[in-house]
Structures are given as C-alpha cells and as structure tokens.
Amino acid sequence: PHVYDLSEMLTPGEHSISIRVDNANLPPVGPCHAVDERTQTNWNGIIGRIELQARAPIWIDNFQATPNVEQRRFEVRLTLRNRSSWQGDGEVTVSAESAEVPTVHFTPLVSVQSIQGSETHCSLQFDIPEKFPCWDEFQPALLRLSVKLECRSDTEVHVDEQSMMTGCRSFRTEKSQFSINGQRTFLRGRHDACIFPLTGYPPMDKKGWIRVFQIGKSYGLNHHRFHSWC
C-alpha cells in the first residue's frame, strides 16, 4: 500500500488532493517479470481502498508480534509516533482473543518510558494461556492480538488502538525437511504470478481471496508462493 502523511499540509479548510499514476519504466529495470507480459504485465491505475484516516496526535505507527511456541509467548514490538508537544510516560495494554476459546486474555499495564520526539520504539512479552491452541495446517487456530496506547496528563488524553489476526506457530528446518510446531510437514503449493485474465488485477477484498485459497485447498495445496509481487 501507498501511505502518505499529510499532517503538515492539511490546514483547516477545503483542500483538493490529486493523484498521478505513472507506470513508465523508471528506473529501467527490464527485463523484469514484474512489469512485462510474462506475469502480471505493466499495470496502470489504482486498485483497492482509497481513504483519508484521522489519527490521534500520538499513535501506534507499527505493530509486530513474533511467536515463540516453546515459551508460549509473543514478542510484541511497537513504533510510536508523536506529532504533539506532549512528553511523558505512556501505558500499553495487550490483549488476545481466541476464536476457539471464548475468553479474552489481558496483560498487565506496561509503562512506556519517555515518549519524546517524533518516534519511540518499545517491546514487551505477551504470555499465551495454555488453553489457547497453536496454529497448524489442520487446525488453523487464530488469535486476535490487540494493543492499546494511553497517554495522559492533567490537560490531555491521547488514546490509540491497533489489532491483528495471527497464530502461534514455529516453522523450521530439520535437516532436509520442514516442521511446524515440531511436527514434520510437506509443502504442497503453487506458483502465483498474479495472472487474473478476467479482471486484469487481483482481488482486493477478503471474499475474493477466500475464493482463491479455497480453490487451492480443494486440490490439496497448503501454500501459495507469490512470484514478483505481493
């Protein structure tokens, strides 16, 4: 996705935003599968959602979570942005909700020291309850991880929240073979070169991709390899 921060440009009042799409071969990268007729050809235009988002002046700009199956925990990493004059300590809460277990699990509050300047990085550990199942090919158990940031002073309150769907699993090599959560597995997949002749572009919604993956699953496939595109 293309994301542009317009905070310093959008003063109060009416504005016009223009977008120009230029698919010229600049810089010259050919021959390259990403821009010629061997795969998705050279696109021109915009697909997917176009929107303006209003965010709190202190917000979660990046949220990543890496699972550790052996220790049953996630390492949560956050990048916080600050466009206000506010400085001080913030509080972060992480919660997890399992589709298979109808409960929500919360971490204790974690203090983020010294949110100063325009960018702050922090990390914390989130323990996964034993009753939450891990993900594998035959039981794709998912977790919704949510993180909440609160910054409070006597005169200001800034709150931002982000969430993601993820799963707790390890994927490793064991000599010449692969394993998921310590169980030997075999990758049965397809090469996906973004060829959608009926539309000329890939699905841009959840329903369209569920259809694509269900077709692969009906043939016994368990992964897609995206070639020259994401």
Of 6-15, 167-176, 187-196, which has the strongest mean pLDDT?
167-176
Answer whether residue 64 shows pLDDT above 90. yes
In this prediction, residue 36 carries a pLDDT of: 67
Q: Please say if the pLDDT value at position 214 is more than 90.
A: yes
From CA 42, how far away is CA 3, in angstroms rounded?
A: 21
Strand order in the sheet with 119-127: 58-68, 73-82, 119-127
Q: Give yes or no for residue 28 having a pLDDT over 80.
A: no
Q: Given a cut of 90, is residue 207 above it in pLDDT?
A: yes
Q: Among 3-7, 31-35, 152-156, which is the least confidently predicted range? A: 31-35
Rounded to an integer, what distance in angstroms lies between the CA atom of residue 175 and that of residue 167? 25
What is the band of 41 on the pLDDT scale with cuts at 50, 70, 90?
Answer: low
pLDDT of residue 11: 87
pLDDT, residue 159, reads: 92
User: CA-CA distance, 157 to 140, in Å (whole number)?
Assistant: 39
Report the length, in residues, of the chain. Answer: 230
Which of 100 and 146 is assigned the larger pLDDT?
Answer: 146
The CA distance from 91 to 148, in Å, is 8
Helix (H, G, I), strand (E, B) or coil at 214: helix
- pTM comes to 0.78
**Per-residue confidence (pLDDT) for residue 130, from 0 to 100:** 84
What per-residue confidence (pLDDT) applies to 179? 94
Q: Kindly report the average pLDDT of the chain as a whole number.
A: 86
Over residues 147-161, the mean pLDDT reads 87
Of the candidate ranges 8-12, 18-22, 35-39, 116-120, the one whose mean pLDDT is the lowest: 35-39
Confidence check: pLDDT of 75 > 90: yes
Of the listed ranges 144-148, 190-194, 212-216, the least confidently predicted one is: 190-194
pLDDT at residue 30, rounded to an integer: 65
Which helix or strand (DSSP H or E) is residue 180 part of? strand 177-180
**Residue 184 to residue 70: CA distance in whole angstroms:** 16
- Condensed to tens digits (0 to 9), the pLDDT of residues 98-120 reads 878 777 777 666 777 677 778 88
| Residues pairing with 53 in the sheet | none
Model confidence band, residue 180 (pLDDT cutoffs 50, 70, 90): very high
